[in-house]
Amino acid sequence: MISISFNRIDPLFMYTQLLKEALLQIEDDDAKSIKELVEYCHLQDDVSKTTLDKIEREYRNHTAIWWYTGPYFIYSMLNYGLRQMDVDIILKMGFFIRHLHQHITELHREQQGNMPAKFQVFRGQGLSMEDFEKMKKTKGGLMSFNNFLSTSRNREISFNNFARPATNNPNSVGILFIMNIDTAICTKSSTPFAEVSKVGYYKDKEEEILFSTHAIFRIDRIEQIHDNHCDRLYEVTLTIVGNDNHELNTLIAHIRKELGDRPGWSRLGRILQKVGEPAKAEQLFQILLAKTSSDEDRAEYNYQLGWVYNDMGEYSKALLHYEKSLDIDKKILSPNDLSLASAYLNIGSVYYNIGEYSKALSSYERSLEIKKKAHPPNHPALAFSYQNIGSVYYSMGEYSKALSSYQQSLEIRNIALPQNHPDLASSYEGIGLVYDNMGEYSEALSFLQKAHDIREKSLPPQHPKITKSKNNIERVKKKM
């Protein structure tokens, strides 16, 4: 239902922010998008033909909030898609996500003068026992509502109509969220909200305040509600938080820069990869590849699919897509274009993963040559190449060459990146692993610990690289 994070300053905040930006950046052709949504829904069993005909005929006659609050499938389908990161639904409803966010933003601006600076809203809902246990351990931590968030000024409605009925499911806990809202924080952190009772489908119903996606709150207090009929009712006090954490903002800025000027869908796919969801990224890029007729887009989506399959360990597929991308790029780009450097780098990484080290080294060095012509000497892209060259030498057992390459990558990253950037962790880890293999265990432990500390600060809690760095530390400790 909701995404709950565990750290007090959590990378979840960073990725939800970037995810939201990617979704809102997508600019699809609205008429075509409505048609595609209707066609998609015709294939689903639970959407009536009458409703679909109405949407196709009358979509522009009403506002996004009107459709969202009406007795249609839009509310449930959209929020399910956002909560589950269901790529198919998000692809089909991207235009509506944008319209709804824009409508909430417009109303927020219009209503700002009449809104109190600070106020409370309520939300009743069910929460699985498992999620509730996580929440109890996370007091003081952050939680994010990744869907559009409906709340009410009316406590009784929220409790009686939503929190209490949730306990009818024996595996659920009924939750009444009490949310402390600071208008200034919402405006500053681009989490708009609006009073929608005058513009929704049901006029004046529920005194509803609707928030845009990815509102993030701090969990302040969890207390049981004493009730004669049920012992599974709880009151949870939340406070909305802004994006004023300097450390995270610096990191967001760098990752935003790394994502480059890719269009929204491609950017969304890259973020899915970064948060450890390669299967969802694959689904997205396959759909995009099938839809496009542009050589430039074909090269981009093949490139991204190569990256995804490489991450998933499907190396023959990765090589196939990287080479398709490179073939297209060679026809449309100049010989020293940086896109070719990326292609050679990634082809090298596949060869590395299948143990063809001389081919990997050749591809990495070709990539580095192009980058050196295009970038200043301390550019992070050069560090990435040195890192990869170090990995090849490490795997070949040439530890002094590996150490030299890893140190070059670390030197550049220390100058070019913020101190909690995940790429720094890769350099520290590489150096630590070399020292481990050379039998210098205290040096190894020092570098591996630095890698782990950075990953804990900069990656989502369940990310496989955090587990990997923990395992490295344990292994070295056993040798000491």
In tens, the pLDDT along 393-411 reads: 999 999 999 999 999 999 9
Selection from 13, 68, 28 nearest residue 190 by Cα: 13
Q: Is the dihedral of CA 167, 171, 172, 173 positive or negative?
A: positive
Select the more confidently predicted residue: 470 or 207. 470
Q: Are strands 233-240 and 172-182 parallel, antiparallel or unpaired?
A: parallel
State the CB neighbour count (10 A cutoff) for residue 126: 20
147 sits in the region (left: phi over 0; alpha: psi -120 to 50; else beta) called beta
- Residue intervals of the chain classified under CATH 3.90.176.10 are 3-244
**Burial profile 138-163: b = 16 or more Cβ within 10 angstroms, e = fewer:** beebbbbbbbbbbbbbebebbbeebb
What is residue 244's three-state secondary structure? coil
pLDDT by residue (tens digit) across 431-462?
999 999 999 999 999 999 999 999 988 887 77
* Total count of residues recorded for the chain: 480
Per the listing, tokens 């839809």 go with 291
First to last CA, the chain: 45
Q: Is pLDDT above 50 for 1?
A: no
Token pair for 465: 């690289």
DSSP 224: E
What is the C-alpha separation between 451 and 10, in angstroms, rounded? 17
250-479 fold: 1.25.40
> Model-level pTM?
0.68
Please give the residue that has the higher pLDDT: either 188 or 446. Answer: 446
Phi-psi region of 397 (alpha: psi -120 to 50; beta: other; left: phi over 0): left
- The first and second tokens of residue 82, run together, are 């956002």
Every domain of the chain with CATH number 1.25.40.10 lies at 250-479
pLDDT value at residue 12 = 56
251: tokens are 């990191």
Q: Is the pLDDT of residue 261 over 80?
A: no
Q: Can you give the pLDDT at residue 8?
A: 43
Q: CA 308, CA 324: separation in Å to the nearest integer?
A: 15
Find, among 197, 236, 65, 85, the residue nearest to 147 by Cα: 85
- pLDDT above 70 (res 80): yes
Higher pLDDT pick, 327 / 40: 327
DSSP secondary structure letter of residue 410: H
In this structure, are residues 402 and 386 in contact, taking their beta carbons and an 8 Å threshold?
no
Radius of gyration for the chain, computed over Cα atoms and rounded to the nearest angstrom: 25
Nearest by Cα to 161 from 201, 108, 206, 219: 206
Give bridge partners of residue 176 from the DSSP assignment.
Answer: 124, 235
With bands split at pLDDT 50, 70 and 90, how would you rate the model's confidence at 6? very low
Q: Which CATH superfamily is domain 3-244 in?
A: Toxin ADP-ribosyltransferase; Chain A, domain 1 (3.90.176.10)
Secondary structure (DSSP) of 339-365: HHHHHHHHHHHHHHHTT-HHHHHHHHH
Neighbours of 360 (CB within 10 A): 24
Instruction: Please give the Cα distance from 97 to 292 (Å, whole number).
Output: 22
- The pair of structure tokens assigned to 272 is 């899915």
Nearest to 239 by CA among 154, 177, 159: 177
What count of other Cβ atoms lies within 10 Å of the Cβ of residue 464? Answer: 10
Q: Where are the alpha helices (DSSP H) in 60-121?
A: 64-69, 74-84, 87-111
Q: Counting Cβ atoms within 10 Å, is residue 127 exposed (0-12), middle (13-18) or buried (19+)?
A: buried
Average confidence (pLDDT) over 409-435:
95
The per-residue pLDDT for range 112-126, each reduced to its tens digit, is: 888 899 999 999 999
DSSP 225: P
Choose between 228 and 154: higher pLDDT: 154
User: pLDDT averaged over the chain?
Assistant: 87
Q: Is 462:441 a contact under the CB 8 Å cutoff?
A: no
For residue 83, give Cα distances in angstroms to 1, 141, 144, 200, 257. Answer: 6, 19, 10, 23, 26
DSSP state of 226: P
The pLDDT value given to residue 138: 75
Report the pLDDT value the prediction gives residue 9, as an integer from 0 to 100: 44
Give the Cα separation of 340 and 357 in Å (integer). 20
- Single-letter amino acid code for the residue at 386: Y
User: In sequence order, what DSSP letters do the residues of 119-170 get, joined into one string?
Assistant: EEEEEEEEEEHHHHHHHHTTTTSEEEE-S-EEEES-HHHHIIIIIHHHTTST
- Residue 184 pLDDT: 87
Q: Is the pLDDT of residue 146 over 50?
A: yes
- Confidence (pLDDT) at 7: 45
pLDDT of residue 145: 83
Q: Write the pLDDT tens digit of every residue in 14-28.
A: 666 777 777 777 766
